[in-house]
Amino acid sequence: MGRLFGTDGVRGVANTELTPLLAMQLGQAGAYVLTEERSYRPTIMVGCDTRISGDMLANAMMAGICSVGANAVYVGVLPTPAIAYLTRKYKVDAGVVISASHNPVEFNGIKFFNGDGYKLSDELEDQIESLIKNNCKGVPKPTGSRVGKIKYRSDAKEEYINHARKAVPLDLRDMKIVVDCAEGASFYTSIETLRELGADVVAIHNNPDGTNINANCGSTHMEELCARVVYEKAALGLAFDGDADRLLAADENGKIVNGDEIMAIIGNYMKEKGTLKKDTIVATVMSNLGFFLMGKEKKIKIDQTKVGDRYVLEHMREIGANLGGEQSGHIIFLDENTTGDGLLSALHLLQVMVESKKPLSELAKVMEVLPQALYGAKVPNHKKESFMEYTEISDAIQALETKYAGDGRVLIRPSGTEPLVRVMIEGKDQSMIDRDAKALAELIENTVM
């Protein structure tokens, strides 16, 4: 059995890899580890995205929580950042999100937040995992009146909307915005927030049925959004993923504005306003080379971490930064929330547009996106960490690193959430890097069987 926890909780195909039994055990072990020093009956908040397996896994998770004597508060379908915020707001002991983010509907996941709204450290995850591998031996199983109970809340989404509106007060009257909710957790909160702020909202993919989450929509499939922005003559388009912790945008011409560009736009605005702490943005090694060149030109320090918003967050907390994120659109505003927040990202981006009175296409010129090719090689989950052990793969990577030295870069890494090895090459010639990245991905896929 490999490590249960990836870079963003426990992920797998629901009902085969991520089973109700495993969800119950995670509820038991998680509740015990996160609350074992409490002298009172602890409470854990649980929410989920819109995928059909959410009810099954959430109820199994809450059964596990209650079986060790803790209480559960079920808030239903809400974005991941809402759970992080509300965990602190309601002063509960921990929070749990049942979601597989941008993954297809057959996947699901479970991620924990501590009582302060932060994702768990590796050490705490290891403690939870160790208990599960030992069949939760030593975890108390109370009886009678000491068994936990479940409380259901329907007002939580309004609390999150109010928080977002207060964090970034805006007047969006006369602004037309196309919003793609990915048939996911933001289908109510994002649309309602923008409409309450006065925007003319054209909502697409906001009718989740449990099976259509992320299906050719959202931040991983932006073709429809880009075309709709042009058709509607909108100011911009906003694309969330399934659990709404990431945001990508489309400018008024239908051109995608990625997470690096969004951070560059907002980071420069914050620096000008004197609100960018340490004059630093924290990004990952996957950020475009143009983002780092922008930082050098604008005298903004760009600190790099390994891939995963949890590592971005850890470094932000270490150095006292308040802005960081990933090219994929996970952007963290640490003054306002403790995890990537698609809605806050959208509001901050709109704030720059409103105050500068500039279109998004002009604002995006703050950085030049250098040609980049990204491919995913499908490999078995248990082999994705060992791909460099194959000589033909390591030799091919070394050859590419030599080829692009000085004119680009090559980055190969296992995905933290999917059975993939990601291949990224940057260089001056788009057709060349596409060809080389695709060939390397195919080599990895065909070699690691």
39 backbone dihedrals φ, ψ, rounded to 5°: -95, 5
Domain residues for the domain of 422 are: 372-447
First to last CA, the chain: 18
Q: From the DSSP assignment, how many helices (H) and strands (E) are in the chain?
A: 14, 19
Closest CA to 196 of 229, 161, 232, 235: 161
| 343 & 220 share domain | yes
Q: In what order do the strands lie in the sheet with 256-257?
A: 200-204, 176-180, 236-240, 247-250, 256-257
| 385 & 357 share domain | no
| 310 & 222 share domain | yes
Q: What residues contact 394, with CB distance under 8 A and at least 6 apart?
A: 388
| 352 & 416 share domain | no
Position 2 scores a pLDDT of 63
Q: How many domains does the chain have?
A: 3
| 289 & 432 share domain | no
Q: Containing H/E element for 96?
A: strand 94-98
Question: How does pLDDT run along the chain (449 residues), one tens digit per residue?
Answer: 467 888 788 999 999 999 999 999 999 999 999 887 777 899 999 999 999 999 999 999 999 999 999 999 999 999 999 999 999 999 999 999 999 999 999 999 999 999 999 998 889 999 999 999 999 888 989 999 999 999 999 999 999 999 999 999 999 999 999 999 999 999 999 999 999 999 999 999 999 999 999 999 999 999 999 999 999 999 999 999 999 999 999 999 999 999 999 999 999 999 999 999 999 999 998 899 899 999 999 999 999 999 888 899 999 999 999 999 999 999 999 999 999 999 999 999 999 999 999 999 999 999 999 898 999 999 888 888 888 889 999 999 999 999 988 778 898 988 877 889 999 999 888 999 999 999 999 999 999 87
Position 405 scores a pLDDT of 86
Last residue of some domain: 324, 346, 366? 366
Last residue of some domain: 103, 125, 156? 156
Catalytically active residues, by annotation:
101
Position 122 scores a pLDDT of 87
| 206 & 254 share domain | yes
For 121, the 3-state DSSP assignment is: coil
CATH code of residue 128: 3.40.120.10
- 9-13/107-114 β-pairing: antiparallel
| 152 & 84 share domain | yes
Last residue of some domain: 137, 156, 175? 156
Closest CA to 155 of 241, 90, 71: 90
- Core vs surface per residue 187-204: b (16+ CB within 10 A) or e: bbbbbbbbeebebbbbbb
Position 280 scores a pLDDT of 98
